[in-house]
Amino acid sequence: MEQILQEPIYMEALNTLRPVFDAYDRGYNFGEQGLYYDVKRNPVNHFKAIYQLSRLFVHLGLSVFNCFPLRRSWSPCYVTIDSKILCQNILGIRWSNAVDKLDYWRRVVNLDSKALKPQEGRQLRFRGTIQTDGVGVTVLKKRFDRQKRYTARFTVEYKATSYITNLTRRNHQEISGRCVAVDPGRRDMLYFVHENSTPEQPVKFRYTKQQQDKTWKTKKYRRILQDLKAQDPDVVQAEQALSQQPSSTVSVEDFGRFLQARSEQSAVLSRFYGHTITNHDNGYPLFRKIRLSAYFNRQRADQKLIQDLRAKLEKTPCL
C-alpha cells in the first residue's frame, strides 16, 4: 500500500487535496459508519472541508457547487410536526408524556384513514409524527417488530449486471427472443428496438422529451407561472435584481452581497411564491399544490412508460 501511495499520480492527488484534509482537527474520527454517515449526522464538523473542496473546484476549473447551505426555493418546504408541536402550536394545550400520543392526534385527524392505518401485519404503525408543507403530507411510521432502537447494519447485496459480451451460451438461450436494445437518440430521450425488428416489420418504441413534458405537464405549469408573473411586475424586477448576484461562489464578499440582495427582495418573492392561492373554492397555496401534482405526474409517467414498453415490445424484456 505504501509503495502505491509513492506513485507520482497519487502523490499529486494527495498534495492537491491537502487543504481539504487539513480542514479537519487533528485526530478527527469519522466513526464506525464512515465519512458519508458522519457528514449527514454532523454537517457542521465538515463545513470547512467542504468549503476548501469548493475552492479547489474553482482552482481546477471544474463546475462550482454551492458549499453554503441555503435554500433556493421561495415556496415553503416540508416541516416536521410531532405530538408536542401539535399540542403547543395547533391545539393550544399543554403536552404531557402521560397521555398517549394518538389521543392528541385523534382530535385533528381520522386515525382510521388509509394513510394512517398500520401496515405489514400491524408492525409498521403511526406514532405521532408527520411532515407537511400545508398541502402534501408525509406520514412517518415506526416499526414494532424490532426490540432495539438501532438494529445491526444490514448487508447490502449488489446484483452484478452482466453485459452481452460476458454472457454464456446458456444465458443467450435463456434470453433469446426477448432482447431489447436501448439507446438515447438525437431527438429521443430513449429509443427501444426489439431484436426481432426488421425494416419491413419494425418493432420499436420511442420516448421523446415532448412526451415527457406532456405527461409531466411541465409546459402547463411553466405557463401558469409566467402568466402570474406577468400580472405582478414587482416579482419580475425582484428576480432580475437577485439574478445579478452569484449564489454559487466561494467568495465570502460575493456571497455577502447575494445575501443582502436576497434580504431586500425577500418580502416580494415570499409573498408571491408562498401566499398565492388557487382559484378553486378550497384555496390551496398554488405553488405547493403544483409541486405535489408534479410529483404525482412523474410517478404516473414512469408507470405508463413501463406499461407502454411492455405492450409494444415484450412483457418481460431483457434490456
Last residue of a domain, one of 98, 114, 143: 143
Residue 287 lies in a domain: no
Residue 164, in any domain of the structure: no
> What gap in Å lies between CA 56 and CA 58, rounded to an integer?
5
Q: How many residues does the chain have?
A: 319
Instruction: Mark whether 52 and 88 lie in a shared domain.
Output: no
Q: Interior CA angle at 290 toward 40 and 230, to 5°?
A: 115
Q: Are residues 87 and 133 in the same domain?
A: yes
Place of cell 465570502: 252
Could you read off the pLDDT of 23-81 as tens digits, one per residue?
998 889 888 888 888 888 888 899 999 999 998 998 888 888 888 777 888 999 999 99
Written as nine digits, the cell of 84 is 408536542
The angle at the Cα of 65, spanning 75 to 291, to the nearest 5 degrees, equals: 25
Closest CA to 215 of 155, 298, 319, 112: 298
pLDDT digits (tens, 9 = 90+) for 272-301: 999 998 877 778 899 999 999 999 999 999
Last residue of a domain, one of 121, 143, 165: 143
Q: Find the distance separating the first CA and the last CA of the chain, reported in whole Å.
A: 40
Q: Is residue 115 part of a domain?
A: yes
| Residues 7 and 34 grouped into a single domain | yes
- Burial label for 261, CB within 10 Å (0-12, 13-18, 19+), is middle
Indicate the number of domains in the chain. Answer: 3
CA dihedral 267, 273, 278, 281 (to 10 degrees): -50
**37 in the same domain as 86:** no
pTM of the model: 0.72
Sign of the CA dihedral with 6 first, then 11, 15, and 18 last: negative
Domain contains 194 = no
> Are 227 and 258 in the same domain?
yes
Residue 259 belongs to domain spanning: 217-276
d(CA 50, CA 278): 41
| pLDDT at residue 1, as a whole number | 44
The Cα–Cα gap between 272 and 234 comes to 10
Identify the pLDDT of residue 153: 54
211 found inside a domain: no
Lowest mean pLDDT segment, chosen from 114-123, 169-178, 214-223: 169-178
Query: Model confidence at 185, in pLDDT bands (50, 70, 90)?
Result: low
Nearest to 314 by CA among 221, 176, 218, 110: 176
204 in a structural domain: no
Q: Is residue 125 part of a domain?
A: yes
Strands (E), the chain: 79-82, 124-132, 137-143, 180-183, 188-194, 204-208
Instruction: State the number of CA atoms in the 13 A half-sphere of 279 facing the CB.
Output: 2
Residues 7 and 43 in one domain: yes
Query: For residue 27, is it within any domain?
Result: yes
Residues 72-109 have pLDDT tens digits of: 889 999 999 999 999 999 999 999 989 999 999 999 99
